[in-house]
């Protein structure tokens, strides 16, 4: 064989080897991309499920200060109504410079927004033209940079550039208030060209848990409660859906086999103040409180347009009796604490209101709204309860086809779910998910996207990613960061259920080893997370030479430092970790001045509510011991935020905790440039980071 031919064969062999290596590497990256997104979503949905089961009270005010002086020292935007494009531009410039809009203008803006929204139908109807494409945006979740980038790439809202924002403007991110102000301002300027649908996070109870309430109270310390009270009403008036050219249905979550667009178009939508509080009669509440249900938690420690169609009556998919009775017990305990606090002067008569908001929605109104704001599509046929989220349903392609046939529709655009590339097409191209918050879970975890619709109704997707850091990192550095964050969140979840996992492991086998099947079964049954546990096993535990999993190694790098270790029993620490969000939510109702500092008496009140919710039994002496152990300077006050952080930073070293607080931590390595883990692909040609 001649030398040139041998040379060519060697080159071809090298090319094949390189190709195989590249494909194998990209396959591993894709696998890790998927399981990291699964970890983030499973934990997020489990948290939402817990939130749907905690239906309690709300803060409100009965007095409203009609006049609020704006001091001469205020250099931010000064709004004059009716608003103009100059006002909107001033707001954008101010927020880019991290300035706050004065509370007086915020309240005026919210009053005007409510007035305009009340004139709008439940389902808005729009039409397109070739000179007037409609832009559809998904979840923003307080990420102002994403909104600013959308406006930069796509232009500001105007008569020739209409927008539909499909809910979930708030929570999780740091700039929810700024996003609302911008969207509401453009709504007032262009009420026929900027349209807002309600999302499941436009809900005052969700806001307490997921950060928006805290953001408002931090930014508007004096008038924050009034702003929140008004926002609660504004959210209830947001339209529920949008229909484009009578063919494209746009709503936040999804549909069910009983979704009735005619009904949704005609009922009084403002009656649904919160989907966390389903309609119940007083008699029903009293009866359920009396129920004795076995505990499964640890003990010790305008003119509306018609849309034709019919539907059947529906049944609610409520939470477990144990959780419901627990929630009602919380409400009862709350009322008693409010009474005690008012008599002792801790709370004023205007700082709380009755938890019940008349008029309440009917069961049908509540369920129909729940389904369209909380449901998710799936590839399997049928309609089943959404057990991951705890509300809404999973709907298959057959359910989509039936709704389309009934109402002569062509496409459903929804949001509600983070997607790796910012969007996803399902059900044979009939259902599109659009998600506009890039880097939702972690810097580099996902792209954002929006849709352009013209009269052909062929969706055009525009992707982007807001991240200075991501642009500076190479692929391996970016993927390592996100995978580390995902595994950190999962390990925190494992620690919070350590006792239950240990019990289940030992019941299976006393030798310290389990087969892969048995280990997966335990993880699924205890954590209730739909994850690829077989793929994750090498990340979470050591595997013996015979292929079995040494289950004790799941906890080897989970530690609890001092003084928490000395003052609190492990079961108590695990319980606090597990219900940290609920504890924080209860505290927000107790901390009347929202300073983050509470007295020992306020801590007792918070803890009493927490024990009712979790089913824990803890006497006053044990509570005193815990409270005193975290009152570091012995001044009678507790920094509650640091207390919560001590039970949250399970992947941080104790020495990094503020003021020497010993926290739960793990010995986890810092991602190194050589690691390959997870991230969205590199920008495509023509796309860039901003």
* DSSP string for residues in 510-564: SSSEE-HHHHHHHHHHHH-----HHHHHHHHSEE-TTS-EEGGGGSTTEEE-TTH
pLDDT bin (cut points 50, 70, 90) of residue 445 is confident
| 124 beta partners | 242
Q: Which element (helix H / strand E) includes 461? A: strand 460-464
Provide the pLDDT for residue 469. Answer: 62
Angstrom distance (rounded) from CA 644 to CA 578: 12
Provide the pLDDT for residue 4. Answer: 72
Please tell me which of 349-353, 521-525, 593-597 the model is most confident about, judged by mean pLDDT: 521-525
Please tell me which of 10-14, 395-399, 589-593 the model is most confident about, judged by mean pLDDT: 395-399
pLDDT bin (cut points 50, 70, 90) of residue 391 is confident
Q: What is the percent of the chain where pLDDT is above 70?
A: 65
Which is higher by pLDDT, 682 or 209?
Answer: 209
pLDDT bin (cut points 50, 70, 90) of residue 689 is very low
Average pLDDT estimate for 344-364: 56
pLDDT at residue 448 above 90?
A: yes
pLDDT at residue 130 above 60?
A: yes
Per residue in 521-533, pLDDT (tens digit) is 998 888 888 888 8
pLDDT at residue 604 above 80?
A: no
Provide the pLDDT for residue 74. Answer: 93
pLDDT bin (cut points 50, 70, 90) of residue 573 is low
Among 68-82, 630-644, 666-680, the least confident range: 666-680
Average pLDDT estimate for 459-487: 75
Provide the pLDDT for residue 569. Answer: 58
Closest of 553, 592, 586, 583 to residue 648, by C-alpha: 583
pLDDT bin (cut points 50, 70, 90) of residue 306 is very low
The two tokens of residue 614 are: 């979790």
Sheet containing 123-126, strands listed edge to edge, beginning at the edge strand earlier in sequence: 123-126, 241-244, 248-250, 411-414, 431-434, 423-426
pLDDT at residue 407 above 80?
A: yes
Which is higher by pLDDT, 565 or 40?
Answer: 40
Which residue in this structure is represented by tokens 């972690």? 442
Provide the pLDDT for residue 62. Answer: 33
- Long-range CB contact pairs, 47-51, < 8 A, 24+: 47/581, 48/389, 48/390, 48/391, 49/387, 49/388, 49/389, 49/390, 49/391, 50/390, 50/581, 50/582, 51/205, 51/206, 51/209, 51/210, 51/276, 51/390, 51/581
pLDDT at residue 462 above 50?
A: yes
Please tell me which of 18-22, 27-31, 287-291 the model is most confident about, judged by mean pLDDT: 18-22
Per residue in 218-238, pLDDT (tens digit) is 999 889 888 999 999 999 999
Backbone angles phi, psi at 417, to 5 degrees: -130, 135
Catalytic residue IDs: 201
Provide the pLDDT for residue 110. Answer: 96
Average pLDDT estimate for 175-193: 97
Across the chain, mean pLDDT equals 76
Average pLDDT estimate for 259-266: 96
Average pLDDT estimate for 448-462: 95
Helical spans, DSSP H, in 53-123: 85-96, 103-118
pLDDT bin (cut points 50, 70, 90) of residue 411 is very high
Upper half-sphere CA count for residue 550 (Cβ side, 13 Å): 9
Provide the pLDDT for residue 83. Answer: 96
> How much is the pTM?
0.70
Average pLDDT estimate for 466-491: 71
pLDDT bin (cut points 50, 70, 90) of residue 317 is very low
Q: What is the percent of the chain where pLDDT is above 90?
A: 39
Per residue in 608-645, pLDDT (tens digit) is 767 776 666 767 777 777 777 666 667 677 776 666 65
The two tokens of residue 636 are: 């009678």
Which is higher by pLDDT, 314 or 495?
Answer: 495
Provide the pLDDT for residue 630. Answer: 66
Average pLDDT estimate for 69-91: 93
pLDDT at residue 117 above 60?
A: yes
pLDDT at residue 600 above 80?
A: no
pLDDT bin (cut points 50, 70, 90) of residue 575 is low
Which is higher by pLDDT, 478 or 410?
Answer: 410
Which is higher by pLDDT, 648 or 348?
Answer: 648
């Amino acid at each position: 064989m001649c030398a040139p031919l041998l040379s060519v064969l060697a080159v071809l062999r090298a090319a094949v080897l390189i190709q195989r290596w590249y494909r194998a590497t990209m396959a591993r990256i894709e696998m890790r991309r998927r399981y990291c997104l699964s970890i983030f979503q499973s934990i997020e949905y489990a948290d939402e499920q817990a939130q749907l089961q905690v239906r309690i009270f709300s803060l409100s005010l009965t007095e409203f200060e009609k006049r609020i002086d704006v001091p001469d020292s205020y250099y931010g935007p000064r709004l004059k109504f009716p608003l103009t494009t100059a006002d909107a531009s001033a707001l954008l410039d101010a927020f880019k410079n991290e300035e706050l809009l004065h509370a007086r203008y915020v309240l005026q803006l919210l009053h005007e927004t409510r007035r305009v929204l009340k004139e709008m139908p439940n389902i808005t109807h729009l039409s397109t033209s070739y000179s007037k494409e409609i832009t559809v945006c998904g979840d923003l979740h307080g990420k102002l940079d994403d909104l600013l980038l959308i406006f930069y790439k796509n232009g500001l809202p105007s008569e020739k550039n209409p927008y539909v924002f499909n809910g979930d403007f708030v929570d999780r991110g740091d700039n929810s208030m700024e996003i609302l102000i911008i969207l509401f301002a453009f709504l007032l300027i262009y009420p026929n060209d900027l349209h807002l649908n309600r999302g499941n996070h436009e809900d005052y109870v969700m806001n307490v848990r997921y950060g928006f309430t805290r953001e408002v109270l931090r930014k508007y310390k004096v008038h924050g409660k009034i702003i929140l009270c008004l926002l609660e009403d504004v959210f209830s008036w947001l339209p529920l859906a949008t229909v484009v050219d009578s063919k494209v249905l746009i709503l936040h979550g999804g549909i069910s086999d009983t979704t009735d667009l005619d009904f949704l178009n005609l009922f009084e939508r403002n009656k649904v103040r919160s989907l966390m509080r389903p309609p119940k009669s007083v008699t029903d509440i009293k009866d359920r409180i009396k129920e004795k249900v076995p505990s499964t938690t640890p003990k010790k420690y305008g003119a509306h347009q018609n849309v034709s169609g019919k539907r059947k009556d529906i049944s609610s998919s409520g939470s477990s009796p144990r959780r419901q009775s627990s929630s009602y017990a919380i409400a009862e305990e709350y009322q008693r604490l409010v009474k005690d606090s008012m008599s002792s002067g801790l709370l004023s008569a205007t700082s709380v209101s009755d938890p019940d908001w008349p008029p309440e929605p009917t069961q049908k109104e509540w369920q129909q709204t729940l389904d369209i704001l909380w449901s998710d599509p799936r590839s399997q046929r049928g309609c089943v309860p959404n057990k991951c989220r705890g509300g809404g349903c999973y709907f298959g392609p057959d359910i989509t086809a039936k709704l389309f046939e009934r109402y002569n529709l062509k496409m459903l655009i929804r949001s509600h779910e983070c997607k790796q590339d910012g969007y996803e097409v399902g059900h044979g191209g009939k259902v599109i998910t659009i998600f506009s918050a890039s880097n939702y879970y972690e810097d580099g975890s996902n792209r954002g996207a929006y849709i352009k619709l013209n009269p052909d109704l062929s969706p055009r997707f525009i992707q982007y990613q807001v991240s200075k850091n991501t642009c500076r990192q190479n692929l391996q550095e970016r993927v390592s960061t996100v995978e580390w964050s995902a595994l950190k969140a999962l390990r925190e979840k494992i620690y919070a259920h350590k006792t239950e996992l240990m019990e289940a492991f030992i019941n299976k086998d006393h030798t310290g080893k389990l087969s892969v099947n048995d280990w997966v079964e335990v993880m699924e049954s205890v954590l209730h997370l739909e994850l690829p546990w077989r793929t994750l096993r090498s990340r979470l535990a050591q595997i013996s030479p015979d292929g079995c999993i040494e289950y004790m190694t799941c906890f080897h790098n989970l530690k609890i430092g001092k003084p928490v270790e000395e003052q609190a029993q492990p079961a108590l620490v695990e319980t606090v970790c597990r219900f940290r969000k609920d504890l924080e939510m209860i505290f927000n109702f107790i901390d009347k001045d929202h300073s983050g500092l509470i007295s020992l008496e306020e801590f007792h009140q918070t803890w009493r509510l927490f024990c009712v919710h979790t089913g824990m039994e803890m006497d006053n002496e044990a509570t005193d011991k815990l409270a005193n152990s975290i009152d570091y300077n012995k001044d009678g006050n507790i920094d509650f935020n640091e207390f919560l952080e001590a039970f949250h930073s399970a992947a941080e070293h104790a020495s990094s905790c503020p003021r020497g607080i010993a926290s739960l931590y793990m010995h986890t390595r810092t991602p190194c440039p050589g690691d390959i883990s997870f991230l969205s692909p590199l920008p495509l040609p023509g796309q860039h980071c901003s």
